Every structure is written in structure tokens, then in C-alpha cells.
């Protein structure tokens, strides 16, 4: 309820504070911040609906026509004009070689560790590495507020800390706990609006932002919408045009054909482009997966930067960015280092990450991300030293691995977590997307296993899922009836997702809208 003069407007409906977060709730949901949010959402909500409908329209057109994605004829003039460049980025973004990725700010302990790390940047993640429950969003936004306003006693001043690259949710996500004019709020506007209202001016005056990552952008029209949001927000908050800078994650086969257009739309606000390899790979299943010609092979064996499929994508991204004066950043190293630095497993893990990152450096990237904070300095030292369709098949181990990742992601989501650890690696919604996408596609095309020639069918996946669940029950040490029930629910939901007639576009949308998940996240 907003009071203006003698008139009362019931424009925003906001759920009350989760237990234990009353102080944080009051700090971020002030009357002024709610007015700002209401105006932001009211201004752009219709445009958000349009771009989501356009996504459906493009997918339908591909399905009906049988066409392949390609470069847009209508925007050829942008691609063919050699004269334009993006605006130069601020000094703190110019030499940002190693970022910490998947940093969910609701995890206060890890957030503080990252703030005190030697990383040049932090991907403060409200998207892939975060489960967007109401408590997590409130706590995460409040922790960013505390960091920016220098309220953490054991953290550096924001001007001396690694630069914060704030990553709001993607367009497919909805904030259920706030309604504006009778509609649930787009998740990215909720995150972006609160972060900007509370932090933008301090970040700008300390020459430390506001800087963003933009997830799952599928077209230059979506980039145009973000640019309009940036211009509106800068005007509202009294910031100069171009104060906001954003790195767009190219993690969709459609946006891969519109990289120049995306940079052009954001040319005053661009901090470059980033390779999101797992979401990019999953998008082939999303957009083209019903076509047998686009069968994606075992991701744990055949889909990596050493293969032409992903290497050509990274090469195009790097060349496009550098031609337009923009930064190009690589993917995230998800491997976790063993604790004993003198052990052979530690040396092997470090050598594996180094080998893959040297491929990205050779491709010309300006930086990349790591998850393990222990990889920051070794990778900084590495930087200082110096066919399109993937080939291959499907293995039994790869199928079981994908099943395990999909189930564990849903299980983690049901506990309010957006990532988990498995076999020495961090897994999040991006790896869950590619895992469940491949299982769905392999079932659809009855793909044969390299091991024994068996076809991947729903029956086989169901049988393997029983075995995997049994192993996970022991690995996760399910001790209570609630934990057993949650794992059973996660298994059932995974089988439902990979068995659907039509491919669910995003697993996070499916989980966020599903009644069981929504209810569980609020218990």
C-alpha cells in the first residue's frame, strides 16, 4: 500500500518477512524502494511479456519450418558496418582476468571469503548458482547491501574488494512473493531494481560499478530491453548514461548468431560477452533437440573446449568482441581442488584446469571464472605466463552421471540451494540443464550406448535411476524420513522432466512454478 497525499494506492502486494530475517526485510523493503520497484515493474512488465512470447514464436517457427538458426537479414547493416565500437569500460573492468563464479550471496561465509580473496571480480549470482527462495533473495540482496556500504567488519572497503558483477535472475524466472498491479513480478526486475536502488550510487562514486552479468539472453531485442531498463534506471537515480555496465552470457544457439547486434544494442553499457558453455549446449536440445541430426553426445566425454563444436563458438565470440572493442570472457572451471596441496590428486586437478584454461587463453579470452577460491592465484599465474556438430556417442557412465546430476540438483533445490558438489566438481542449474536435456534427447531418439548397443529408452532410464538413487541415498547419507522423501520426490520429478512429450524449456522454470517445489521452498 502506497500513500501519496490523501490517496492510498494498493499497487504492491508483498509477502511478509520469512522468520529470522525481519531486520534484513525492513532494510531492503523501504517505502522508497517499493515505489521505485513499482515504477520499474509497471514500466517494463509488458515488454518482458513480449520478449517471452517472442521466444515461443521463434521456437514455433523453427519447428514448423524446419529451418536452422542463422544470421538475421534485417540486421545485416549492423554487422557490415566496421566503424562502430562499444564504449570503453571503466578502469576496474579493464584487467579483470579471474572472477569467482556461482557465488550465491545468501551464503554469507563464502561471500565473505570471496570478498577477501585475490580475485579481480566476483559473479554475485542470483541465478544459476542460487536457489531463489524468498529467504535466499532477501539475505543475498542484504549481504550485497552490507558489502557495498562497508558494513562487514572483516571485509575490505568496496573500492578495494574484488569488483562485484551482479547477476540477476534470467527472464524465465518469476518472483512469487511480490505482485505489482495484480501480477507476479519478473524475477530479474525484482533483483535488479533492489540492487540498483540500494547500491548503485555508492558503487558509482567508489568507481566500482554498478556492473552486471545478464543471463540467458536469446536475441538482440532482449538486449535492447535491458538497455532501455538501464537508461530508465540511470535517469531515475541521477546517474550518467553509461554508468551501468553489463556482460551478456552467450548461452543460447540463437544469441550466438546475434552477438554483434547484442553488443550494438548495449554499446553504451557493454562490458563484453561471456561463454556459458553448458547452457549453450543445452540450448541445442531446447531449440533443435527433436531433430535427430542434432543429437548431442555424452557431455562428460565429448562436449568440451577441446572439440570443434564449442571451440568454434568461443572463437566467434572472441573475434566478435575484439572487433568491436569489447571484452570476451571464458567459462567457469568447476573442478574442486583436493585439500592436500602436496598430493598427487591436487596436482592432477590443477593440471586439468590449467590445460583447459590454456585453450581459452589461446583462443584470446580476456579472462574467465573459477569456483574454487584456491584456483584464483594459480589461474592468475597461468594468464600471466602465458567440426561444428559435436562428434562421439553416449556411454553408460555418462548417462548415469547425467541422471545423478539431475536428481541431485532437484534435491538441492528442494532444500533451498542452487548448487551442490559431486565427484569433486560444483554442479549448478547450467550443468543440470545440459544433463537433463541430454537424457531427454537420448530417450527421444533411442540413442545406442557405446558400451553394449542398448537403446536409451524411458524404461532403461527408469531402471538406471533406481540404481543411481540407491547410490545417492548412501552418498548423501539420508538419515531421516524427510530426507528419504525429498530424494524420492527429486527422483520422481527428474523422471517426469526427461519423459515429457515436449521439452521443458528451463528446469528452473519447471521447478519454480511447480507447486511441490514452491511449497517446499517456503517450509
Distance of alpha carbon 307 from its chain centroid, rounded? 23
Sign of the C-alpha dihedral, residues 8, 11, 12, 13?
positive
Buried b (16+ CB within 10 A) or exposed e, 370-394: bbbbbbbebbbebbeeeeeebebeb
Confirm if 365 and 419 have CB atoms less than 8 A apart. no
H helices present in 297-392, as ranges: 308-323, 344-363, 376-384
**Which H or E run includes 102?**
strand 98-103
Cβ(113)–Cβ(141) below 8 Å: no
- CA 512 – CA 322 distance, rounded (Å): 37
First to last CA, the chain: 27
The residues with which 121 forms a beta bridge, in sequence order, are 99, 163
Find the DSSP H helices in 76-186.
Answer: 76-80, 91-94, 108-115, 134-148
Instruction: Please give the positions annotated as active site.
Output: 167, 428
In the beta sheet, which residues pair with residue 332? Answer: 369
Alpha carbon distance 351, 349 (integer Å): 5
Helices 187-205 + 31-65 axis angle, to 10: 120
Amino acid at each position: 500500500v502506497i500513500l501519496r497525499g490523501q490517496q492510498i494506492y494498493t499497487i504492491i502486494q508483498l509477502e511478509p518477512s520469512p522468520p529470522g530475517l525481519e531486520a534484513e526485510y525492513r532494510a531492503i523493503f523501504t517505502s522508497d524502494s517499493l515505489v521505485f520497484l513499482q515504477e520499474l515493474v509497471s514500466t517494463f512488465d509488458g515488454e518482458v511479456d513480449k520478449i517471452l512470447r517472442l521466444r515461443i514464436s521463434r521456437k514455433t517457427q523453427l519447428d514448423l519450418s524446419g529451418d536452422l538458426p542463422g544470421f538475421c537479414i534485417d540486421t545485416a547493416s549492423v554487422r557490415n558496418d566496421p566503424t562502430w565500437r562499444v564504449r570503453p569500460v571503466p578502469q576496474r573492468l579493464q584487467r579483470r582476468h579471474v572472477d569467482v563464479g556461482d557465488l550465491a550471496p545468501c551464503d554469507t561465509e563464502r561471500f565473505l571469503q570471496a570478498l577477501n580473496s585475490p580475485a579481480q571480480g566476483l559473479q554475485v549470482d542470483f541465478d544459476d548458482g542460487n536457489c531463489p527462495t524468498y529467504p535466499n533473495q532477501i539475505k543475498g540482496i542484504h549481504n550485497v547491501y552490507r558489502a557495498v556500504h562497508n558494513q562487514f567488519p572483516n571485509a575490505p572497503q568496496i573500492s578495494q574488494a574484488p569488483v562485484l558483477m551482479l547477476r540477476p535472475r534470467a527472464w524465465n524466472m518469476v518472483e512469487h512473493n511480490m505482485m505489482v498491479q495484480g501480477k507476479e513480478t519478473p524475477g530479474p526486475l525484482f533483483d535488479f531494481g533492489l540492487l540498483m536502488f540500494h547500491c548503485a550510487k555508492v558503487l558509482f562514486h567508489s568507481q566500482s560499478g554498478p556492473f552486471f552479468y545478464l543471463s540467458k539472453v536469446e536475441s538482440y531485442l532482449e538486449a535492447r530491453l535491458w538497455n532501455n531498463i538501464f537508461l530508465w534506471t540511470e535517469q531515475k537515480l541521477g546517474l550518467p548514461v553509461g554508468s551501468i555496465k553489463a556482460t551478456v552470457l552467450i548461452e543460447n544457439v540463437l544469441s550466438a548468431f546475434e552477438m554483434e547486434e547484442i553488443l550494438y544494442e548495449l554499446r553504451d553499457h557493454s562490458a563484453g560477452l561471456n561463454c556459458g558453455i553448458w547452457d549453450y549446449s543445452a540450448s541445442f536440445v531446447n531449440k533443435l533437440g527433436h531433430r535427430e541430426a542434432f543429437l548431442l553426445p555424452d557431455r562428460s566425454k565429448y562436449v568440451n573446449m577441446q572439440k570443434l563444436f564449442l571451440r568454434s563458438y568461443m572463437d566467434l565470440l572472441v573475434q566478435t568482441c575484439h572487433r568491436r572493442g569489447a571484452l570476451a570472457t571464458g567459462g567457469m572451471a568447476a573442478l574442486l581442488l583436493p585439500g592436500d596441496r602436496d598430493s598427487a590428486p591436487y596436482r592432477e586437478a590443477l593440471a586439468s584446469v590449467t590445460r583447459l584454461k590454456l585453450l581459452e587463453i589461446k583462443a584470446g579470452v580476456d579472462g574467465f571464472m573459477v569456483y574454487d577460491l584456491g584456483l584464483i592465484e594459480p589461474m592468475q599465474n597461468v594468464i600471466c605466463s602465458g567440426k561444428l556438430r559435436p562428434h562421439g556417442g553416449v556411454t553408460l557412465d555418462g548417462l548415469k552421471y547425467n541422471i545423478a546430476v539431475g536428481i541431485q540438483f532437484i534435491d538441492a533445490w528442494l532444500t533451498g540451494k542452487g548448487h551442490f558438489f559431486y565427484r569433486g566438481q560444483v554442479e549448478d542449474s547450467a550443468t543440470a540443464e545440459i544433463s537433463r536435456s541430454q537424457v531427454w534427447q537420448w530417450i527421444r531418439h533411442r540413442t545406442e550406448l557405446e558400451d553394449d548397443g542398448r537403446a536409451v529408452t524411458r524404461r532403461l532410464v527408469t531402471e538406471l535411476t533406481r540404481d543411481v538413487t540407491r547410490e545417492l541415498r548412501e552418498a548423501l547419507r539420508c538419515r531421516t524420513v524427510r530426507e528419504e522423501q525429498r530424494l524420492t520426490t527429486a527422483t520422481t520429478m527428474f523422471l517426469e522432466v526427461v519423459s515429457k512429450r515436449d521439452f521443458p524449456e528451463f528446469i528452473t522454470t519447471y521447478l519454480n512454478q511447480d507447486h511441490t517445489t514452491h511449497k517446499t521452498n517456503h517450509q
